[in-house]
Chain A
Amino acid sequence: MKITIVKVAQKHLTREICPWMVTIPPEGKQ
């Protein structure tokens, strides 16, 4: 039984960008 955690569960998911549309900016991508 091998389990390697790559990314833990998150309580709040935030998705800052909208890849669907050209109109959404690179907000916060420093």
Chain B
Amino acid sequence: MQPSTFNLRVPMPDGDVFLLNTLTDAQLIVSGDVVALLDRIGGDAGGQAALGADQRDALLTLAEHGFVVTDQGAERASLESFFAAFREDASQLRITILTTLQCNFACDYCYQGDHGIGPAGEKMSLETAARVAGWIARQVDAVKPSRLVLTFFGGEPLLNIPALMHIAETCHAHADARGIEQIVSIITNGLLLTPELVDRLLPLGLTGVKVTLDGDRETHDRVRPLRGGQGTFDRIIENVRRVADRVPVAIGGNFDVSTADRYPALLDFLKAEAFAPRLSTITFKPVIKPAAAPGAPAPRTVDGKMLIPVTAVGQNRPPLNGSCLSVAGASSGSICDNCHFVDDQMSFLREETRRRGFATADGVHMGPCELYRRHSHTIGPDGSLYACPGFTGENALSVGHISGRRDTVQADAAGRFDKLAPWRQCGDCSFIPVCGGGCAVAAHAELGDMETPSCHKRSFESALVSLAEEAVGAATGRVQ
């Protein structure tokens, strides 16, 4: 027997140790002698014959939850099986639909570029919407999932409600006739969100709306203005107030060095709102902008410390497609010091969010990404297919079209995504099952190579400590 490669430990102040196995997701609180036992079997395979009865019992429990394995080579095969099962999982058919690339906002960090409210080609026509619904129906019949998950995204998806409603209604009728549950969610800037729209979508499976707020009123209005420059915070909040008793609302936020310290003020504002208990989650992600002009003052944190400006790698690349997740190799450490700023800010924001009683991502269970699901698709306004929404800005990375035609460039891209497995370069990192090598969009945007891991081990390690403290706190009453 050997300890699992995917064991993680967090020593607690009272001498106990929190154990997490990332492959089985089991979590234990154990005494120091159990940890010593794990070390013993790891260092001396022949010593197991001398184990006492209580030690053998402990090993059985550890094995039952995956902390002890027959041999690590076989466990590696289990890891590949885990990713294969994830890829082939047909229980859900997940479709993200971009009803338009147009947007009524002018966020300067948007990875999709400035599409304004211009060409009709960037807005899904009703004819295309009908074809999209037909393509999804054929996928439903081929995959036979138990759940159809539709996510409407953009651009701003509510700038094209006719296409959105047509797809939601048509797919719901198709799924319902086959006993398949349809789940609908919308990611919106919130400006056009109304109770009337929510009421129309609830019978079609609407379970959540995600609205973006980038800080308190002043900060949000600066970074997420209307195209005419007007602020949007108050109108969005008013819309959330009007729908929050009908549907769970999640808040998503984008931060950079100049806005991260404004989030506590936003959290305090939200906490004081009557709809606070109805918020399902509050989550954040980093934005990276090109370096400031030479001579510009370095940004500072709320406590006045100077920060290293987060810098986009390569001026000719898109600004990280909306997610930092910068470089770092295998499990050998970061080659991007700026990532530490991002990782530390993620930890800070997670703690601030939790402290106010809001649910947020735990920072450990981050993957694998749905990009690796065979039955997960993103559809652009013209019917082009993509591996995930983060690649929608790049035609060369389209993997096909709902018409069934696939040119050589698309076939090449599809082949690359099919074979994508960056975690194979991550050595024996214990976080592989919950990371999967990180975000392929970030690796592509920063390194020009989506097959390279995008490592944020520091962020995982920090989140693990928080997870352990929470788990131990919750279990205290049950510890014998």
Contacts and interface: CB of A to CB of B under 8 A. Distances in A.
Interface residues of B, number: 74
Contact of A27 (B55, B185, B325): B185
Contact of B389 (A1, A9, A23): A23
A15 B58 contact: no
Contacts of A26: 185, 207-210, 248, 250, 280-281
A5 to B, nearest CB: 6
The majority secondary structure among interface residues of chain A is loop
Among B24, B254, B438, chain A packs the most CB atoms within 10 A around the CB of: B24
Contacts, number: 149
Nearest to A8: B26
B103 interface: no
A29 to B, nearest CB: 4
B361 interface: yes
Contacts of A15: 365-368, 434
Interface stretch (B60-68, B260-268, B307-315): B60-68
B180 interface: no
Chain A interface residue number, banded: 20 to 34
A8 B198 CA distance: 37
B93 interface: no
A17 to B, nearest CB: 7
Interface in B423-463: 433-434, 438-439, 441-442
B390 A23 contact: yes
B65 A8 contact: yes
A9 B212 contact: no
B323 interface: yes
Given A4-B29, A6-B28, A18 B370 contact: yes
Interface of A: 1-10, 12-13, 15, 17-30
